[in-house]
């Protein structure tokens, strides 16, 4: 009887040990699969609150609360100036509306660069940064790049004229006086999406306040012309000056060599004359001071 009991006990212990062994292997396999799943799982994307427009909005339209929708946006892909709080868009509720500066399609993310400040109209003042001033330049079909300029474009400003003073007068020449200037208005329009086809009479540029006197003097003393800078061109033009001689490749003639003139006094000749009868003879003698 005791032998049977001992045999059953050993059999039970064997089964229990085998069960524990199988359970450990199962748990290890589960842990292994979980670790593999964590490694293969896509990285977690951190999201932040953002806002999109609920409909297409064009230049000059006023933005209202009903025109925006809250959405989630990847934090790593946030564009500069993106609004993350409704109070940033409408600080005083909907009382001071913002005005759209650029066309936005439905579902486009809302950023500060496409809107005016609260309560501000979409005029020239909304395009000026702190310390900048607006200056208007007269243009025609030639100097204004044939009517192809738009607000938001960047141009190089050239001056053509002559210099005259009390001593000399220099002929006409052209010089780059202000590179990479931003246009903020063409005629009376600040709309960057204005339709072309017309010839502008004036363009308005944004420059630092200390540059306004120089541009004003340049416009009154000569002719200003503009050169359009490419959209993806971040280079700054060097100071360039061209006159007629440089344009035609004419070199100035070398100045004549100036030689020092030494005055040589003629050699003094002293003599006396004698007369003998009808003959007159000249006899040289030493000169005395």
Q: What tokens were used for 145? A: 């790049």
Distance CA 184, CA 197 (A): 18
Distance CA 132, CA 125 (A): 10
Render pLDDT for 219-240 as a digit per residue (tens, 0 to 9): 998 899 888 888 777 776 666 7
Render pLDDT for 139-174 as a digit per residue (tens, 0 to 9): 888 877 777 888 888 899 999 888 776 555 667 888
Q: Considering only 13-17, 24-28, 48-52, 98-102, which range has the smallest mean pLDDT?
A: 13-17
More confident residue, 174 or 125: 174
How large is the average pLDDT for residues 71-84?
A: 89
Q: What tokens were used for 34? A: 């979980």
More confident residue, 255 or 214: 214
Distance CA 213, CA 218 (A): 8
pLDDT of 198 over the 60 cut:
yes
How large is the average pLDDT for residues 205-225?
A: 91
Distance CA 85, CA 70 (A): 9
Distance CA 176, CA 236 (A): 11
More confident residue, 187 or 135: 135
């Amino acid at each position: 009887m005791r032998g049977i009991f001992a045999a059953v006990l050993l059999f039970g212990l064997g089964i229990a040990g085998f069960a524990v062994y199988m359970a450990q292997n199962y748990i290890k396999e589960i842990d292994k699969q979980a670790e593999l799943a964590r490694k293969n799982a896509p990285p977690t994307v951190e999201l932040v609150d953002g806002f999109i427009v609920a409909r297409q909005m064009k230049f000059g339209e006023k933005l209202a609360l009903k025109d925006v929708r809250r959405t989630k946006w990847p934090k790593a892909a946030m564009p500069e100036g993106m609004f993350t709080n409704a109070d940033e868009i409408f600080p005083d509720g909907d009382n001071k509306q913002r005005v759209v500066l650029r066309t936005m399609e439905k579902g486009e993310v809302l950023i500060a660069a496409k809107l005016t400040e609260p309560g501000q109209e979409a005029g020239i003042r909304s395009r000026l940064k702190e310390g900048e001033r607006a200056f208007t330049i007269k243009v025609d079909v030639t100097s204004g790049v044939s009517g192809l300029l738009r607000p938001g474009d960047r141009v190089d400003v050239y001056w053509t004229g002559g210099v005259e003073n009390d001593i000399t007068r220099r002929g006409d020449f052209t010089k780059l006086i202000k590179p990479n200037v931003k246009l903020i208005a063409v005629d009376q329009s600040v709309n960057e999406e204005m339709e072309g086809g017309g010839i502008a009479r004036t363009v308005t540029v944004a420059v630092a306040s200390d540059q306004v006197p120089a541009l004003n003097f340049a416009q009154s003393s000569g002719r200003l012309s503009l050169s359009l800078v490419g959209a993806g061109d971040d280079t700054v033009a060097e100071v360039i000056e061209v006159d007629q001689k440089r344009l035609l490749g004419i070199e100035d003639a070398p100045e004549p060599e100036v030689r020092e003139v030494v005055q040589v006094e003629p050699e003094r000749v002293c003599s006396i004359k004698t007369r003998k009868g009808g003959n007159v003879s000249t006899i040289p003698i030493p000169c005395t001071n």
